[in-house]
Structure 1
Amino acid sequence: MQSREKNEQEAISLILNEATKIDSIELFQGEQTVFRGSDGEAKNFIEKYPLSHVKKLSKKERAIFEEEPAYHIVYKIKDKPLYEVDILKVAISSELSEELQQMVFPIGDDQYMIYWAQEKKVLEQSTNTQRLLEQYQH
């Protein structure tokens, strides 16, 4: 278990240390690329503090969301992925804990959450991810 926590801390440290170098972003809906932006175009949609609030998502909590991600976002530095997140759509909003309610964000009539699948954690977002999804939602 300790090595798992160590790997998790290393992954978080890497992202925090490299986040300012992110120069491109790619948004997928299923297998299809919906948006690919770099430099100035991407900066508007990149999370300024990507791991400011992180919460482990239990299997029971994961069941509150649709199984398949609504979107997938890849944050890159010089065309190499730094980290990737899924955007999960809330399926059963009445089941959201108070903490999770503070982490979801609306797009139209639906609610979404950023999910770091690699670490099974949800991330709080700034308005940048929300703005990206609102602009490219289909």
Structure 2
Amino acid sequence: PNGELTFALATAVSLLSWRNQPMRVVIDGVRHEVTAQQVVVANGRYYGGGLCVAPRAVPDDGLFDVIVAGDLGLLENVRLLRPLRRGTHLDRGDPKLLHRTARRVEVDAPPRVRLDVDGEQPGAPPAVFEIVPAALDLVVP
């Protein structure tokens, strides 16, 4: 519970200071020029304090799930919190949420945008993500 509160407060502070940025996202060769809050390239369903950001992700399907969170404002973010926890945000038909699956994703954005790769921060875009099918053996209880 304490970790969840810390995560929620850190998220709120970040949202208040963040300004959405112009980004170029190329998803399996299809180019998208967007103003976005973030681009998520996921192989699993959850991240950051239990948010089900990629509810349709299947770790062994050989595809990334890509979610582009477009030009969302503060109130839109607040309204998305419960659906994000439940994993129902993609079912809402929100035009500011783009979902695709892909084998290759390229992201380019201004230097202010920072990469976050599973909690590590390797720097700024440009970045290329390529899936390597069947590279991991998973044990599921």
Q: Structures share a fold, TM > 0.5?
A: no
Higher helix share: 1
State TM-score, norm by structure 2.
0.31
Higher strand share: 1
